[in-house]
């Protein structure tokens, strides 16, 4: 049996200290523990967790294998750590898994300090890979991995079929990361997943590349009993659903909501990863509110029919609007995600999106600059129709930062400078709308609108401070 240290590397994220342990690496921990391996975990996103702490951990635990979970935002940091570890312990195996390696295996194998990549869902693959390493069997037999052969050429084995029956998986081993350490504002949170995969084809999305297009659903009973388990074990009071498409299957969502209603758990939960507006009906909205949903985020992207069409969103702005109105009518806090500079976008279309966010009273609109992730259809579209300022792989590694990133590409009708200005303007407007909505929620429409004359950058900074001090009540 092997000794394995699992690491979540620090990330250039703007979320500050993490609010709950990462689910993917906790799932890997769970299957390793179940197979009898000895496993420790380290979340290096906490500001106090330094290289020295990692070195001490390795010294004390003496692992034979180190596993990193990486996204594009933290892969370089993980490589830096792997290099450091290999310079101390050249014989240790370094394994990388997560969305970034799944999307870009060949590029990631350029880093010589990585021995193996686990591609896509990792639960079965990691067990087989370690068994091969322990029994000195040829690793090329393992599906869903990548490595370098003796001539240092990259080898990518056949893709592993998706895990069909999610009920056979153990619960994530969150205890490896000590959930109480993530306490923020008197609240303990955890991620929860009721399904994997997404059948839609949005051209900018990488999420479904990891979990596939085929939906796999957990039984609502299992999900509710997992939530009950974490509530009892660690006193978790808020759950964040982390799947790609929570509302992909209406009946499943309704059954889950019925289960939550019956269980009467003293918890709240949020759908911040984003649900599709077209699936959000009046009955779902009301049930969400009744069962403790605090935030529902809706992926809007654009209000323009042509942009939605070219992005292959598979829904119209009318359908999205119906969903937003259903959520608002149910009294839910609605976050709206927009993207600036998708194919077909223009300055005036973004202006329409801002007006729409204001008119539909979206509580927290968010505008992001489009990024064309490698190997997405969006990257293909830009290659054919526009101009890249950075190669897709380089862009996501080097040109995103804690603030706004950088314009990745442009195309006729929306030049680089205009994209940048429009994006910054929309971002500023979104903050102003969020502020106004906060005032309206807190003080009602009349007084809120009156107080809105103080809606400027300075007062918004003060309000954020005030929000932290609980002066303006936003949901958790």
Residues that bind ligand SF4 (CB under 6 A): 198, 200-202, 205, 207-208, 244-245, 276, 299
- Work out whether 45 is an interface residue with ligand B12 (CB under 6 A): yes
Burial (CB count <10 Å: 0-12, 13-18, 19+), residue 444: exposed
Asked if 180 and 21 count as a contact pair (C-beta separation under 8 A), the reply is no
Q: What are the structure tokens assigned to 94, written together?
A: 């370094």
Q: Give which of ligand B12, ligand SF4, none residue 72 binds (C-beta under 5 to 8 Å, depending on kind).
A: ligand B12
- Work out whether 392 is an interface residue with ligand B12 (CB under 6 A): no
Q: Cβ of residue 275: shortest distance to ligand SF4, in angstroms?
A: 9
- Work out whether 245 is an interface residue with ligand B12 (CB under 6 A): no
Q: Which of 71, 92, 74, 70 is nearest to 83 (CA)?
A: 92
CA angle 450, 456, 457 (to 5 degrees): 150
- Work out whether 63 is an interface residue with ligand B12 (CB under 6 A): no
Out of 29, 97, 343, 344, the only residue in the binding site for ligand B12 (CB under 6 A) is 97
Contacts of 261 (CB under 8 A, 6+ apart): 287, 290, 291
- Work out whether 194 is an interface residue with ligand B12 (CB under 6 A): no
Q: What are the structure tokens assigned to 49, written together?
A: 């967790």
Residue found under tokens 């639960």: 123
Of 97 and 277, CB closest to ligand B12: 97
Residue found under tokens 């998986």: 169
The sign one gets for the Cα dihedral 294, 296, 297, 302 is negative
Out of 42, 78, 81, 103, the only residue in the binding site for ligand B12 (CB under 6 A) is 103
Give the relative orientation of helices 282-290 and 250-263 as an angle to the nearest 10 degrees: 30
- Work out whether 344 is an interface residue with ligand B12 (CB under 6 A): no
- Work out whether 18 is an interface residue with ligand B12 (CB under 6 A): yes
Out of 1, 13, 34, 233, the only residue in the binding site for ligand B12 (CB under 6 A) is 13
- Work out whether 378 is an interface residue with ligand B12 (CB under 6 A): no
Q: Cβ of residue 244: shortest distance to ligand SF4, in angstroms?
A: 4
Q: Give which of ligand SF4, ligand B12, none residue 86 binds (C-beta under 5 to 8 Å, depending on kind).
A: none
- Work out whether 201 is an interface residue with ligand B12 (CB under 6 A): no
Out of 118, 190, 248, 350, the only residue in the binding site for ligand B12 (CB under 6 A) is 118
DSSP 221-283: HHHHHHHHHHHHHH---EEEE--S-TTSSHHHHHHHHHHHHHHT-S-EEEEEEEE-GGG--HH
Rounded-to-integer distance, Cα 5 and Cα 15, Å: 24
Residue found under tokens 């910054």: 424
Of 67 and 277, CB closest to ligand B12: 67
Q: In the range 121-180, which residues lie near ligand B12 by CB under 6 A?
A: 121-123, 126
Q: Cβ of residue 427: shortest distance to ligand SF4, in angstroms?
A: 21
Q: Cβ of residue 72: shortest distance to ligand SF4, in angstroms?
A: 16
Give the containing element (helix H, strand E) for 51.
helix 51-61
Out of 41, 63, 98, 386, the only residue in the binding site for ligand B12 (CB under 6 A) is 98
- Which residues on adjacent β-strands are paired with residue 350? none
Of 245 and 371, CB closest to ligand SF4: 245
Q: Give which of ligand SF4, ligand B12, none residue 142 binds (C-beta under 5 to 8 Å, depending on kind).
A: none
Rounded-to-integer distance, Cα 223 and Cα 259, Å: 9
Q: How many CB atoms lie within 10 A of CB 179?
A: 20
Q: In the range 261-300, which residues lie near ligand B12 by CB under 6 A?
A: 273
Q: Give which of ligand B12, ligand SF4, none residue 202 binds (C-beta under 5 to 8 Å, depending on kind).
A: ligand SF4
Torsion on CA atoms 352, 354, 359, 365, rounded to nearest 10: 140
Q: Give which of ligand SF4, ligand B12, none residue 436 binds (C-beta under 5 to 8 Å, depending on kind).
A: none
Which of the stretches 47-55, 90-98, 131-139, 422-430 binds ligand B12 when contact is defined by CB under 6 A? Answer: 90-98
Q: What are the structure tokens assigned to 294, written together?
A: 């605090």
Which of the stretches 91-99, 149-157, 322-330, 331-339 binds ligand B12 when contact is defined by CB under 6 A? Answer: 91-99
Q: What are the structure tokens assigned to 43, written together?
A: 């979340």
- Work out whether 239 is an interface residue with ligand B12 (CB under 6 A): no
Q: How far is CA 395 from CA 106, 115, 388, 390, 400, in A?
A: 16, 25, 9, 5, 7
Size of the site for ligand B12 (CB under 6 A): 42
Out of 5, 27, 267, 340, the only residue in the binding site for ligand B12 (CB under 6 A) is 27
Which of the stretches 120-128, 223-231, 336-344, 421-429 binds ligand B12 when contact is defined by CB under 6 A? Answer: 120-128
Q: How many CB atoms lie within 10 A of CB 129?
A: 24
Rounded-to-integer distance, Cα 332 and Cα 324, Å: 10
Q: Cβ of residue 124: shortest distance to ligand SF4, in angstroms?
A: 23
Q: How far is CA 171 from CA 18, 127, 361, 412, in A?
A: 20, 16, 38, 49
Rounded-to-integer distance, Cα 194 and Cα 411, Å: 39
Give the footprint of ligand B12 on this chain (CB under 6 A): 11, 13-15, 18, 20, 22-25, 27-28, 45, 67-69, 71-74, 95, 97-100, 103, 118, 121-123, 126, 191, 193, 205-207, 210-211, 242, 244, 273, 373
């Amino acid at each position: 049996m092997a000794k394995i240290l699992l690491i979540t590397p620090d990330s250039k994220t703007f979320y500050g200290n993490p609010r709950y342990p990462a689910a993917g690496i906790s799932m890997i921990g769970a299957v390793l523990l179940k197979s009898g391996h000895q496993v420790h975990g380290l979340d290096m996103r906490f500001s106090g967790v330094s290289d020295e702490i990692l070195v001490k951990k390795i010294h004390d635990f003496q692992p034979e294998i180190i596993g990193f979970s990486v996204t594009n935002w933290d892969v370089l940091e993980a490589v830096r750590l792997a290099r450091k570890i290999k310079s101390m312990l050249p014989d240790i195996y370094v394994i990388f898994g997560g969305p970034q390696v799944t999307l870009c295996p060949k590029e990631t194998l350029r880093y010589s300090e990585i021995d193996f990549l686990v591609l896509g869902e990792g639960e079965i693959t990691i067990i087989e890979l370690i068994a091969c390493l322990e029994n000195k069997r040829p690793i090329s037999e393992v599906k869903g991995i990548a490595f370098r052969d003796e001539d240092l050429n990259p080898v990518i084995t056949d893709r592993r079929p998706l895990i069909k029956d999610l009920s056979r998986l153990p619960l994530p081993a969150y205890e490896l990361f000590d959930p109480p350490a993530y306490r923020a504002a008197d609240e303990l949170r955890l991620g929860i997943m009721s399904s994997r995969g997404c059948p839609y084809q949005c051209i900018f999305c990488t999420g479904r590349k990891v979990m596939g297009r085929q939906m796999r659903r957990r039984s609502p009973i299992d999900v509710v009993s997992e939530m009950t388990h974490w509530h009892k074990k660690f006193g978790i009071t808020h759950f964040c659903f982390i799947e790609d498409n929570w509302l992909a299957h209406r009946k499943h969502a309704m059954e889950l909501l019925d289960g939550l209603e019956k269980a009467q758990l003293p918890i709240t939960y949020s759908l911040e990863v984003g649900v599709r507006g077209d699936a959000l009906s009046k009955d779902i909205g009301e049930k969400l509110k009744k069962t403790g949903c605090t935030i529902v985020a809706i992926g809007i992207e654009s209000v323009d029919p042509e942009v939605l069409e070219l992005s292959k969103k598979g829904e119209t702005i009318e359908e999205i609007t119906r969903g937003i109105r259903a959520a608002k009518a149910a009294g839910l806090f609605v976050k709206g995600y927009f993207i600036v500079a998708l194919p077909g976008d223009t300055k005036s279309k973004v202006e329409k999106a801002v007006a729409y966010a204001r008119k539909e009273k979206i509580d927290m609109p968010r505008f992001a600059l489009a990024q064309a992730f490698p190997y997405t259809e969006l990257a293909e579209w830009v290659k054919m129709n526009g101009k890249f300022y950075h190669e897709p792989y380089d862009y996501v590694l080097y040109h995103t930062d804690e603030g706004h990133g950088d314009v990745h590409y442009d195309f006729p009708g929306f030049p680089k400078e205009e994209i940048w200005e429009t994006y910054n303007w929309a971002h500023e407007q979104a903050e102003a709308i969020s502020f106004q909505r906060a005032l309206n929620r807190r003080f009602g429409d009349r007084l809120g609108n009156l107080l809105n004359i103080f809606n400027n950058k300075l007062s918004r900074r003060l309000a954020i401070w005030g929000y932290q001090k609980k002066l303006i009540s936003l949901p958790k």
